[in-house]
Amino acid sequence: MKFAVIADIHANLEALQVVLEDTKQQGCTHYVCLGDVVGYNANPRECLEIIRAMALPCVKGNHDEYCSMEDKLDGFNPHAAEAVNWTRAQLTADDKQWLRDLKYVRMVQTFTIVHATLDGPPRWGYVFDKLAAAASFPYQNTQVCFFGHTHVPVAFVRDGTVIRGGTYSKFRMEAGKKYFVNVGAVGQPRDSNPKAAYVVFDPREGTIELRRLEYDIAAAQKKILAAGLPPRLAERLAYGR
Ligand code: ZN
């Protein structure tokens, strides 16, 4: 059994297709999604259709929440607000209901999934450093919890009272330690690496492997511009920012 752990697809169909193809080549048999299926890029309905058809455990991201409600977007970054309004207009009532029904946190077999942090999941805090990871660990009842939201792949490890954090490519979990692992973003990476990211998790081996994949960025960019979304959202895909 191997899990593909995917997060922050953000309506990027080109990236999602390449990732799903790779999961097959990697022998993934199970899937989980950490939320933000929609928002920013140009194919929210197509991406939602794929994810819904997979009937996989999925938790709610902040964009899933914003795009499925009708609330005003006060205090939003203008580009994000524009993308949310555009996405709201694309989604069907049924899509929005599906997004609204997503839970903030889920246990899947022996691990936990959350979009942002276990420390008050609906507040959408960003875990970039050990301090923020330290606030999440007390709520983590499994050896590993996967999260997204920052679009920056990083692994935090708690060993007794000591917490370390850093980038990773592949590692094996050790008994007695807890892991809080960001799997990076499928559809809008922000670690200065434009390649799509996801994780292959083998629960029996206890291994966690970060995959990075090239995809047709130019095609995704063209669609963003053609849709009338902010050009900045197309540009950032090329830089991974
Ligand atoms: Zn996101």
What string of pLDDT tens digits covers the 241 residues of the chain?
A: 999 999 999 999 999 999 999 999 999 999 999 999 999 999 999 999 999 999 999 999 999 999 999 888 888 888 888 899 999 999 999 999 999 999 999 999 999 999 999 999 999 999 999 999 999 999 999 999 999 999 999 999 999 999 999 999 999 999 999 999 999 999 999 999 999 999 999 999 999 999 999 999 999 999 999 999 999 999 999 999 9
Angle (CA) 182 94 48, round 5°: 35
CATH of the domain at 101: 3.60.21.10
DSSP string, 206-241: TEEEEEEE---HHHHHHHHHHTT--HHHHHHHHHT-
pTM: predicted TM-score of the whole model, two decimal places: 0.97
Interval between CA 207 and ligand 1 midpoint (Å)? 25
Interval between CA 60 and ligand 1 midpoint (Å)? 10
Give the containing element (helix H, strand E) for 178.
strand 178-182
Interval between CA 177 and ligand 1 midpoint (Å)? 27
Interval between CA 25 and ligand 1 midpoint (Å)? 26
Report how many domains make up the chain: 1
Interval between CA 83 and ligand 1 midpoint (Å)? 12
Interval between CA 176 and ligand 1 midpoint (Å)? 31
Length of the chain: 241
Interval between CA 175 and ligand 1 midpoint (Å)? 31
Interval between CA 5 and ligand 1 midpoint (Å)? 14
CB proximity list for 111: less than 8 A, separation 6 or greater: 142, 143, 144, 145, 146, 201, 203
Q: The domain containing residue 138 runs over which residues?
A: 3-239
Angle (CA) 140 142 148, round 5°: 60
Torsion angles phi and psi, residue 28, rounded to 5: -70, 135
Give the full edge-to-edge strand order of the sheet including 111-114: 105-108, 111-114, 144-147, 178-182, 154-159, 162-166
According to DSSP, the β-strands at 144-147 and 154-159 are unpaired
Cβ pair 188, 83 in contact under 8 A: no
Torsion angles phi and psi, residue 177, rounded to 5: -115, 155
Interval between CA 142 and ligand 1 midpoint (Å)? 24
CB proximity list for 65: less than 8 A, separation 6 or greater: 99, 100
Interval between CA 9 and ligand 1 midpoint (Å)? 8
Interval between CA 1 and ligand 1 midpoint (Å)? 27
Cβ pair 107, 144 in contact under 8 A: no
Interval between CA 45 and ligand 1 midpoint (Å)? 16
